[in-house]
Structure formats: C-alpha cells, structure tokens
Structure 1
Amino acid sequence: MRVLKWLNENIEEYILMGLLIFMVGMMGVQVTMRYLFNASLTWSEELTRYAFVWSAFISVSYCIKRHISIKIDQFLHLMPETVQRVILSINKVIMLAFFSYMLYYAVLVVKSTYLSNQLSAALGVPIYLVQASTVIGFSLAILRLIQSLLGVLKSPNTVK
C-alpha cells in the first residue's frame, strides 16, 4: 500500500525529472562531440526528440494532478462555492470525455504502427514505442481526472 501511495504522489515527477536529465545530458554529449571532436552523433537528436515527446505526454497528467493547467478562473472565483464545484465537475467530465476519445484513437494508431513494423531512421527502434507515449499519457490523464473529479465531489471546502 505504501508503494502505491508513493507512486500516486510521485510517479510523474520522477519520470519527468529523469527524462529532463537524460535530454540535457544527451544534448550535452552531442554538443561536446560536435564542437570538441568534430564528430557528430547520428542518433542523439532523434533519441532526445523521442524523450521530449514522452515528457510532453506525461506532463499532461502531472498538470492535471497539480491543478496547474492553463485556465481562466477569474469569473469562477466570483461565484458561490457550490456553483464553482458544479462548473469544475462539468469541466472535468468534459476533459475526461476528451481524453477518453483521444485514448481510443491513440490505441488505434499505436496498433497500426505496431502491425506495420515501422522503424525510426537513425536508431532503428520501433516507432510504436514512441507513439505509446500517447497511450500512457492519456491513460494517466484519465486517472488523474477521475481522482480530481472525486476530490471535487467529496470535499465541499476544496475547490481547484
């Protein structure tokens, strides 16, 4: 139970931190190779790009979990708390429907790419591994939205 609680609280942060450290390190190696040794790595930029794609989709669930997505809530705070909770609940249900829709098509795209055996140009890794970031990201976003919606419905004093 302790492990699940830790994962729930920290998984996105550690994945994003690891990907950021990896991307900075990889680009540092690439710059060093290019300017000090006059020899460029052919695969480092592709690998960094794929890590960036993964970080972009993982960050969606992180933003939902931390309630730091871009939003305009000036008018929301002028309303009574019950109205705020209703509006937030509707907003989260709409987002849940959107991410569910996106997850469905992301799975179809990944399946199609998996069946086509498409490989990346420089690394030769299967492209479906990169595209799986959409499935993981949207799944985590759905999980975080459900948690957030339950939080709004359960606690009457907390509106985020």
Structure 2
Amino acid sequence: MKALKWVDLHFEELVLTVFLIILSVLITVNVVLRYILGSGLTWSEAVCRYCLVYSTFFTIGHWIRRSSGISVDFVLQIVPHSVNSLFCWIVRVMQILFFGFLFISSIRVFCSVYASGTTDGTMGFNMAYIYLACVFGFLDALIRSIQVIILNLPMMRHKEA
C-alpha cells in the first residue's frame, strides 16, 4: 500500500526523471564523441527528441496533480465565496471533458499514423510511436483530473456544510 501511495504521488516525477537522465547522458556522450572522435551517435538526437516530447506530455499530469498550472482567477476573486466553489467544479468538469476529448482524438491520430506506416528517417521507427506520447500524456491528464475531483470531494462537501 505504501508503494502504491508513493507511485500515486511521484509517478510523473519518476518518468520525467528517467527521461531527463536519458536526455542528459545521450547529449553528453554525443558531445564528447564528436569532439574527441570526430563523429557522434546518429540515433541519439532522435532519442533525445522523443524523450523531450514524452516528457512534455507527462508534465501535464504532473501539474494537474499538484494544482500548479497557470490560471486566471480574477473571476473567483470578484464573485461571492458560495459561487466560487461552483465555478471550481465547473472548471474541473470542463477539464475532464477537455482531456477526454484530447485522449480520444490522440488515439485516432495514433491509429491513423500507425496505419500509414510513416517511419522516422533517423532510426527507422514508425512515427506513430512519437504520437503515442499524446495518448499516454492525455490519458495521464484525464486520470489525474478525475483523481483531483475525487480527492477534493470531501473538502468541497465540508465547505458547503
């Protein structure tokens, strides 16, 4: 149970850390090889690009879970406090709908690119694998959005009472 709680709190951080380590090591090795041996790894730039794209999409779930996204909250400051919690719920439901739409759309795009068979010129991978970052990222964002509502449900009930 402790491990599951740790994964819940740190999943995106773990994934982002792994991508950052891979990115840093490959760039450093490639720079050293280019300056010492005169030639670098041809595939490392593509792997770094993939790590950067995947980390970008996993960041979405991280800021949702931490509630650290940028928001415009001037409306919440001018409305009465009782309406404030209603607006927060509306925004959270819209967020779930938005990420649900993006998740479904990203699956369609992934399937379309996979079926086309387009490959990456550097590594020969199917380009669908780069689009898989959207699927994973938006799924994570959708799960985290639902989780934030569930975790805040007792707090919202307590405010209304």
TM-score (normalizing by structure 2)? 0.88
Query: How does 1:10-159 map onto structure 2 within 5 Å?
Result: 10-77=10-77, 79-156=79-156
Deviation of 1:103 (Å): 0.9
Cα distance in 2 for partners of 1:3, 1:82 equals 38
Q: 4+ residue runs of structure 1 moved beyond 3 angstroms?
A: 77-82
RMSD: 1.8
Cα distance in 1 for partners of 2:46, 2:123 equals 7
Cα distance in 2 for partners of 1:5, 1:77 equals 34
> Residue by residue, what CA displacement relative to the aligned partner does 1:109-158 show, whole Å, maximum 9, x if unpaired?
11112222222111112222221111111111011111112233321368
Please identify, of 102-111 and 112-121, the stretch whose mean Cα deviation from structure 2 is larger: 112-121
| Identity level (%) | 30
Cα distance in 1 for partners of 2:29, 2:10 equals 28
Counterpart secondary structure, 1:104: helix
Instruction: Give the letter aligned to residue 143 of structure 2.
Output: L
Cα distance in 2 for partners of 1:143, 1:85 equals 21
Counterpart secondary structure, 2:118: coil
Corresponding pairs, count = 158
